[in-house]
Amino acid sequence: MNALLSSDPFTQPALGPEAADIPLLDRDHSILAFNDRVLDWARRTDVPLLERLRYLCIVSSNLDEFFEVRSAPYVVAQKPGQVKDSYSLEAIAAFSEIVHRLVGEQYALYNEQLMPALAEHGIAIVSHGERTAAQRRWVQEYFEREVRPLLIPVGLDPAHPFPLVANKSLNFIVQLGGKDAFGRQNDIAIVKVPRVLPRLIRMPSKVADGKTLCVLLSSVIRAHLQDLFPGREVGQFSQFRVTRHSDLAVDEEEVRNLRTALRLGLQQRHYGQAVRLEVSAGCSERLAEFLLNQFGLAAAALYRVPGPVNLVRLQQLIELVDAPKLMFPPYKASYPRQLVEGQPIFERLRQGDVLIHQPFESFDGVIDFLRQAVRDPQVLAIKQTIYRTGSDSVMMDLLREAVQRGKEVTAVVELKARFDEEANINWAEQLEAIGAQVVYGVVGLKTHAKMLLVTRREGKHLVRYAHLSTGNYNPRTARLYTDLSVLTAHPQLTADVENVFVHIASQVRLPKLHLAWVAPFHLQRRLIERVQEVGASAARGEDARVILKMNALTDVPLINALVRAGKQGARIDLLVRGGCMLPARVAGMTDNIRVRSVIGRFLEHSRVFYFRHGEQESLYLSSADWMNRNMLRRVELAWPVLDPVLRRRIVDECLVAYLHDARDAWDLMADGLYHRVETALDPASPGAQQALMERYAARTALAEKEVRWT
């Protein structure tokens, strides 16, 4: 790939490193601020109680990933003599303060609001001190039957060094009195808790007094630590959890088989560099200091938590409780309105493109498109990118069926999709085993584009049909993420998709495309050019507008282009869900730029790029956020929406609705902080996602009524 880049000017990355025109917001602080906005949903009393708990768990999961991927430089810099210019003492202190505050607010919310409120509904996690005699007997029986046989305490001495502790696993450290069986005074022991044990156990109705009562596995073990050390006195103890750097790094230029190298790397991921240590709030200074030394961490990496060290596992409580009134009302996505269930999709696409807005419309339309392709004898070939499909995927089953039916199947499997590597490796091996052509993208780049291409014989011609999406081929997340899908038979666009697939598989030179923009070759350049066109139009006094919707905005060249266009008079609205480094509303610099983040019931995930200057209007959908990695280190796709009706629908549902959201939106202010919209606490204020759910539900009800009448 490097040779191709150096020999073909057309494939050169658009722009190299560039200094920012204005001081930018800190990327990591912006990511943490996003999590604070997610946590706000756990604070909101208008949100059902179990859903508030779910948002609390989501924040914990996000923080886990943040530490696993982004915190290592801070952790290294915290050590004496390790401070680097890019991580000043002030930056390290600010990072530590923000994260400790966020974690503190999580546990305060958990202990002071959510658990007391759940108790009012007869739902509780019962500690050892609160258990009745009958409940203690049941817990002891459970411990002896299910837990104790799997625990092997390790007493530390020269022959028993500190054991390897896996990333994010539950463990106990125990200080022991007296002497061991050999008369020695080794006073520290470690108890590793197997992952196979459930972290939350529901007590049976016979001891629950008609309530939904649960116990934490950590509480069960804590209550019976003495039983694990007969003849010794259990003194101070604490549960603990260590988070480790988990971003896999593989030198693709040096490995002969990327799949094998990644599988080996996965085995070591659980034991990477320690970056965070969580202990119980009451952990003694001696035990905390002992653990910090063992993991090579500074004091700032220690988090004392007044509750379970892993709030993510409280998701299990939501699954154990049968209380529909404490959850969001069920939402059933409608079948895509441009399709008719059970009717041939290929015939429909010959009439024009189809837009699917998930999760308001169901992913079933995409699955049906692939299913019809698999079972249509006229379909000769299917090509698909696989990024995050999940471990149990109906689409992967359909691809296997396609191979078995004799179709040519090409799967571009991205093995380096973070935290989905194992599932993707397994799918790759299964597809290869039955004869599919499996490729792993381009060396040095992640294949992040979401493409599905079907080639069908129609008379004397081969006709292409494509599905392009802003999101993943994952039916589960398609119910939780907002994304846009396009089904098309447009000859030029499907030809572009074919060329991208051929380029990825063969690494031949990518030809000039008709409509699509592809990273890392020209996506960044084309976006900058489009923003510059809008800016130049504004400078001439013409009406000029940019509206962008994405998950993150951190690419400096793109930020600079937006800032310059704003200075020229273009009105720019940015709907950025997460991290955003562009400071909005700064006098004399970004007066014309507004940044808004919408956090709702569904995860905002669609990428929409709208440009208007004079009489010219264009709208692109994309798999790419405006981040440097998406522009220069990934294979990404952006494509235009040419149908004016579909374009207006996207503007209405994905841009206008969110710009007018008066309930779930946060606006970035000149001070770099996000403020909730003033009407957010008013139950009558409209939220974009709620309005869209109601709109699509009404259409579904009307369609069902028409069916009944006919």
CA distances from 422 to 416, 444, 512, 673 (A): 9, 19, 35, 38
Determine the 3-state secondary structure of 112 from DSSP: helix
Confidence of residue 683 (pLDDT cuts 50, 70, 90): confident
Over 90: is that where the pLDDT of 90 sits? no
Domains 2-20+519-708 and 345-515 share a fold: yes
**Closest among 391, 357, 389 to 606, alpha carbons compared:** 357
Fold of 2-20+519-708: Endonuclease; Chain A (3.30.870)
**Closest among 319, 136, 198, 103 to 111, alpha carbons compared:** 103
Contact indicator for 114, 53 with CB cutoff of 8 Å? yes
Residues 6+ apart with CB under 8 A from 486: 353, 354, 355, 356, 467, 468, 469, 621, 639, 641, 646
Predicted confidence (pLDDT) per residue in 347-389, tens digit = 999 999 999 999 999 999 999 999 999 999 999 999 998 887 7
Which pLDDT score, from 0 to 100, does residue 232 have?
A: 87
Predicted confidence (pLDDT) per residue in 113-163, tens digit = 999 999 999 999 999 999 999 999 999 999 999 999 999 898 887 667 898
Residue 440 β-bridge partners:
none
Contact indicator for 221, 147 with CB cutoff of 8 Å? yes
The rounded radius of gyration (Å) of the Cα atoms in the chain is 28
- What span, in angstroms and rounded, lies between the C-alpha atoms of 151 and 365? 48
Q: Is the dihedral angle over the CA atoms 688, 689, 695, 698 positive or is it negative?
A: negative
Segment 475-485 mean pLDDT:
93
- What span, in angstroms and rounded, lies between the C-alpha atoms of 330 and 348? 31
Annotated binding-site positions for Mg(2+): 388, 418
Class of domain 49-326: alpha beta
Contact indicator for 287, 175 with CB cutoff of 8 Å? yes
CA distances from 312 to 23, 66, 124, 671 (A): 36, 14, 17, 32
- What span, in angstroms and rounded, lies between the C-alpha atoms of 72 and 76? 6
> Domain residue spans in the chain?
2-20+519-708, 49-326, 345-515
User: Where does residue 279 rank: exposed (0-12), middle (13-18), buried (19+ CB within 10 A)?
Assistant: buried
CA distances from 350 to 320, 401, 645 (A): 48, 26, 16
The CATH homologous superfamily for domain 345-515 is Endonuclease Chain A (3.30.870.10)
pTM, entire model: 0.90
- What span, in angstroms and rounded, lies between the C-alpha atoms of 558 and 526? 10
675 labelled catalytic: no
Q: Are strands 408-413 and 379-386 parallel, antiparallel or unpaired?
A: parallel
Predicted confidence (pLDDT) per residue in 619-676, tens digit = 999 999 999 999 999 999 999 999 999 999 999 999 999 999 999 999 999 999 999 9
Which pLDDT score, from 0 to 100, does residue 15 have?
A: 42
Annotate 552-613 with DSSP letters as a single string: -B--HHHHHHHHHHHHTT-EEEEEESS-B-PPPS-TTTSTTEEEEEE--SSEE---EEEEEE
- Give the other-Cβ count within 10 Å of 124's Cβ: 20
Q: How many helices (H) and strands (E) does the chain have?
A: 24, 27
Confidence of residue 606 (pLDDT cuts 50, 70, 90): very high
Which pLDDT score, from 0 to 100, does residue 83 have?
A: 52
Predicted confidence (pLDDT) per residue in 223-272, tens digit = 999 999 998 889 999 999 999 987 655 444 444 455 555 455 545 556 78
Annotated binding-site positions: 62, 388, 418, 481, 577, 605
Predicted confidence (pLDDT) per residue in 40-54, tens digit = 999 999 999 999 999
Percent of the chain whose predicted confidence (pLDDT) is above 70: 88
Predicted confidence (pLDDT) per residue in 578-591, tens digit = 999 999 999 999 99
CA distances from 187 to 156, 190, 241, 261 (A): 8, 10, 20, 41
Across the chain, what does the average pLDDT equal?
88
* Catalytic residue, candidates 448, 503, 522, 613: 448
